[in-house]
Amino acid sequence: MDGLLDRFLAWLPENLERPARILLILALAGFALRLIHRFIPKLRDAIAARQGSREDSQRVLTLSRVVRYGLTVATTVITGLLILGEFGISVAPILGAAGVVGIAVGFGAQSLVKDYFTGFFLLLENQIRIGDVVEAGGKAGLVEELTLRYLRLRDYSGNVHYIPNGNISVVTNMSLGHAYAVIDADVAYGEDIDRVEAVMRSVGDGMRRDNVFSAKILEDLEIAGVDQWADSAIVIRCRFKVQPLEQWNVRREYLRRLKQAFDREGIEIPYQHIQVVYDAPKKNGSADGNA
């Protein structure tokens, strides 16, 4: 690098050579950073467009951010070392001292090192991608950013959670491959179970034929049957296999339509009943005739 700079700036007076070299280094660094921030997104979009599934496209998006961050840091560090060299500061002792300091910091910042190692394996194993809905570190929400150090989630209320990767031990990904919209329907004990299941299946078939929901639902309604005998209802469980992130929309729409169908068919959706029995007060002189 120094040889190239010397050849390029050989025509300058000696007193201007150092400032010119520094300006050239800064200019090249600025050009490199500009190229990184422009080229990486274009390359990411081109690669993502060739992927065969949404999951692969989301993984490309996640990895591209990490690659761009790594290249930016590397360019900045190299630029700083070159500028220090122009001021006559030897880089070798700095690198040696940085190694010693790095070891000391490593012992004192083990949690930070753990964050980076965990983040690396989260990316390598494709456990989390930008755009997924996950539960990790005790929080759940939409993945907005994943770096080597932290995971950023936005929950349904709009709250943003920053979770250090070292705190993530279990990841529950709700949008990987496909999902299930699970519905529990409560009906009164006096209802005919076979008739109820027929109505539920009819509502499910209607959603499969709907223009809006036909693309979201992957398979016909699966009725598991009676799931439990609750205090005041028979619980019948069913589910749809759906596209990722559509389980909540499909569940809400099915419950809405099922309520309308139950009302039309006269199927009772129960609520808790309490029967109060009063004992008749005993009068003076019991039935045995004693005074």
Q: Is the pLDDT of residue 85 over 80?
A: no
The confidence score (pLDDT) of residue 2 equals 53
Average pLDDT of the residues in 179-205? 94
**Are 80 and 143 members of one domain?**
no
> Is the pLDDT reported for residue 1 higher than 60?
no
pLDDT band of residue 220 (cuts 50, 70, 90) is: very high
What CATH number has the domain bearing residue 199?
A: 3.30.70.100
Residues 154 and 227 in one domain: no
pLDDT for 79 equals: 84
Q: Would 11 be classed as within a structural domain?
A: yes
CA distance 31 to 20: 16
Query: Is 282 among the domain residues?
Result: no
Tens of pLDDT, residues 10-52: 544 555 566 777 787 788 888 888 888 888 778 777 776 776 6
The model's pTM: 0.61
Same domain, 99 and 197: no
Q: Can you give the pLDDT at residue 100? A: 57
Q: Within a domain: residue 96?
A: yes
139 phi/psi in degrees, rounded to 5? -125, 155
114 belongs to a structural domain: no
Express each pLDDT in 94-111 by its tens digit: 666 666 556 655 555 677
Q: For residue range 45-72, what is the model confidence (pLDDT) as tens digits? A: 777 677 666 666 666 777 777 777 778 8
d(C-alpha 217, C-alpha 206), whole Å: 11
- Average pLDDT of the chain, as a whole number: 81
> Same domain for 9 and 92?
yes
User: Structure tokens of 73?
Assistant: 């840091």
Q: What is the extent of the structural domain holding 57?
A: 2-108
Neighbouring C-beta atoms of residue 239, cutoff 10 Å: 21
* Predicted local confidence at residue 269, as pLDDT: 87
Average pLDDT, integer, range 171-190: 90
Same domain, 93 and 183: no
| Res 291 pLDDT > 50 | no
Residue 10 belongs to a domain? yes
Residue 27 lies in a domain: yes
Same structural domain, 13 and 94: yes
Q: Residues 224-250: what's their mean pLDDT? A: 92
Task: Provide the number of structural domains found in the chain.
Answer: 3
Do 99 and 141 fall into the same domain? no
- Mean pLDDT on 124-140: 87
Same domain, 196 and 260: yes
pLDDT(128) > 50: yes
Residues 198 and 230 in one domain: yes
In 87-161, alpha helices (H):
91-108, 110-124
Report the run of H or E that residue 226 belongs to, with start and end. Answer: strand 222-229
Q: Is residue 123 part of a domain?
A: no
> 244 in a domain, yes or no?
yes
**Is 57 in contact with 70 (CB distance < 8 Å)?**
no
Angle 168-169-171 from CA coordinates, rounded to 5°: 75
More confident residue, 150 or 272: 150
Residue 94 sits in a domain whose CATH number is: 1.10.287
